[in-house]
Structure 1
């Protein structure tokens, strides 16, 4: 098999898979661009919409047996691969790890040296594809020996598929064990109980007090107000763990002391993380609307004095530092963004939830519960 023909075949497969994966995960592509600190954030949605189609067109149209067209598409593909390579290489210089979603939801999210090596290989394939197009090898093969080309495609596709299946097979047992461990830990921890309906935590309202049911639904939906005698209080609320957070002045506060008088919603975020930035964008609104009823606090990985000005503008004084991830680990809120609701009664009151969409939905449901409780007269409106 000619290496000049193997290169465009492999490049087309990679571009086709990448384009199709991005079609189903445009939000992930936008988050990745934010995480990779790409400029012109306002045009990210447009790029996320155009990029999948571009990759698919490059993957398919390069096989039209017209040398000038193949050369132009080959040049575009090479420039695209080189741009990806530069972006990934730059991301490796960041202090914090970022995610790229280069192949949509199919790729490993964390940028690493392996990601860089993959992009170097893709750039090399793009260069060889351009050579194959410019020398007429691709066009000649398409016209004279299409059946041989089809065999090459099938052989390479089969080899890739077999490799994927073998790798997946070797990881399946580990994945099952990890999933079982997570399930066991969640069965003994908090589910997704209610948010306090007042700062004292005497009663509660929340998104889903009973947590998920066996069929993936919920035992109780939004809008439920819980009293002490309510049958819906059958979920397990666990004590707030012994962990500390750090204030801007360097002093430490335990989670229990933090919530001694008022419940607290902790939103764990990492600067530069795409989904975290979406949560941070909503923090001013959350602080304003939830502030009269409970504390809304951004919990960050870096010391507060090292935060970007844009982060401080959004969270104001409602920010605490989590040294060595002590609190996040204790609350099982691994990953960012994530959120946990701490009750004023010394017990966990909701979460943990993980993921950008999940955190936003979690907070929005708390807001909805409070609005409904106010409308029903069960919760006094804050004095103005």
Structure 2
């Protein structure tokens, strides 16, 4: 096999893996795009879904397109990867540090030199595939040679994508099973989503939201000075609107020395700001990843996070459980931390 024939295989596999991991994660991808500085009008769940479909189609084309279409496919992949390098490089130079969303909300790849190096290496592979195609290097299909070989390549690609989808769906099923409890029941986080620290308490998974000033805020910074009661809401949800209307009462319940009340808003920012201008300084946006990692599968829901990202309680789901958590928040924070068995 020609060494140049391996380059489109590497590039195509990367696009397929990336696209498959983003399936059913359009909202999280749109939020990640906004963090990279893509205009909000372009970074929407619809465009994110189209981008995911493009990644999958491009991955297949790079792998199976015959010459001369293989050169066109590799060229398109190189252009996309050049865009990735530019975006991630710019974010790294700015000093940004957030999850790039490269492999969906379930992944965790931070902006930094490693991400830039990975994208640069893939770009080099794509450029090499273009050069190889122009010079007449064999395509993956040429190497396989016959119809049977092409069939095996297609089967392998479908199997790989199916494996990724099954993994994602299985994880979703575990979440749905956990949240099938009554609305007032506290839902335990799956073991892979939190850590038991030596001090004997659960640590909330790291996540990011967008603050009132438009800046990305990491979960650790959200609770850097005071614990937070993070209440997940969206406009148009009757129970959510009740909690939003009673925000002053909830703040009084938490007390001046208690946790800070913060609303994690799933709705469009402009819609929420028009409906609740009095809560602008208590709202955070871009919360799809936070909802997924904290297993808040419907609204309203809430988690109580202490200092050092200690997961004190939650998630709880429903209007009454959220109010009950607010009422008991100070006592929960003051209670002794349980020891490890």
Please give the alpha-carbon distance, in whole angstroms, between the structure 1 residues aligned to 2:6 and 2:274.
53
Q: Which residue of 2 aligns with 1:306?
A: none
Q: Which residue of 2 aligns with 1:141?
A: 143
Q: RCO (CA 8 Å, sep 6+): is it higher in 1 or 2?
A: 2
Q: 1:86 to 1:147 in 2, by over 3 A?
A: same
Q: Which residue of 2 aligns with 1:298?
A: 282
Matches within 5 A, 1:21-170: 21-39=21-39, 41-42=41-42, 44-64=44-64, 66-134=66-134, 135-138=136-139, 139-143=141-145
Contact 1:192/1:352, CA 8 A, preserved across alignment = no
Of 307, 310, 321, the match for 1:332: 307
Please give the alpha-carbon distance, in whole angstroms, between the structure 2 residues aligned to 1:80 and 1:190.
40
Q: 1:124 to 1:181 in 2, by over 3 A?
A: same
Alignment pair present for 1:185 and 2:181: no
- The Cα of 1:94 is off from its aligned counterpart by 2.1
Contact 1:12/1:60, CA 8 A, preserved across alignment = yes
| Counterpart secondary structure, 1:108 | coil
Contact 2:8/2:74, CA 8 A, preserved across alignment = no
Alignment pair present for 1:266 and 2:262: yes
Q: How many residues align?
A: 236
- The Cα of 1:30 is off from its aligned counterpart by 0.1
Contact 1:91/1:98, CA 8 A, preserved across alignment = no
Structure 2 unaligned spans of 5+: 164-190, 204-226, 232-241, 285-303, 324-341
Contact 1:36/1:91, CA 8 A, preserved across alignment = yes
Q: 1:146 to 1:113 in 2, by over 3 A?
A: farther
- The Cα of 1:117 is off from its aligned counterpart by 0.9
Q: Deviations over 1:122-143 (max 9, x none)?
A: 1112112223333241153243
Q: Which residue of 1 aligns with 2:292?
A: none
Q: Deviations over 1:220-251 (max 9, x none)?
A: xxxxxxxxxxxxxxxxxxx97xxxxxxxxxxx
Compute the TM-score of the two structures, normalised by the length of structure 1: 0.47
Q: 1:88 to 1:190 in 2, by over 3 A?
A: closer
| Counterpart secondary structure, 1:41 | coil
Q: Deviations over 1:52-91 (max 9, x none)?
A: 1111111112344531211111111110111111110011
Contact 1:16/1:55, CA 8 A, preserved across alignment = yes
Q: Deviations over 1:160-204 (max 9, x none)?
A: x9xxxxxxxxxxxxx8796223994259x9999997968566997
Please give the alpha-carbon distance, in whole angstroms, between the structure 1 residues aligned to 2:276 and 2:133.
55
Q: Which residue of 1 aligns with 2:16?
A: 16
Please give the alpha-carbon distance, in whole angstroms, between the structure 1 residues aligned to 2:138 and 2:45.
38
Compute the TM-score of the two structures, normalised by the length of structure 2: 0.52
| Counterpart secondary structure, 2:44 | helix
Structure 1 unaligned spans of 5+: 162-174, 205-238, 241-254, 269-274, 301-328, 341-349, 370-384
Q: 1:119 to 1:185 in 2, by over 3 A?
A: same
Q: Deviations over 1:11-65 (max 9, x none)?
A: 1111111111112211111011111011363453332021111111111123445
Please give the alpha-carbon distance, in whole angstroms, between the structure 2 residues aligned to 1:183 and 1:51.
44
Contact 2:9/2:63, CA 8 A, preserved across alignment = no
RMSD: 5.2
- The Cα of 1:105 is off from its aligned counterpart by 2.9
Contact 1:22/1:29, CA 8 A, preserved across alignment = yes
* Rg comparison, structure with higher value: 1
Q: Deviations over 1:313-366 (max 9, x none)?
A: xxxxxxxxxxxxxxxx9833749xxxx9xxxxxxxxx9787xxxx9xx98xx58
Please give the alpha-carbon distance, in whole angstroms, between the structure 2 residues aligned to 1:137 and 1:202.
67
Q: Deviations over 1:278-301 (max 9, x none)?
A: 66863553444xx6xxxx74389x
Please give the alpha-carbon distance, in whole angstroms, between the structure 2 residues aligned to 1:131 and 1:51.
26
Contact 1:267/1:299, CA 8 A, preserved across alignment = yes
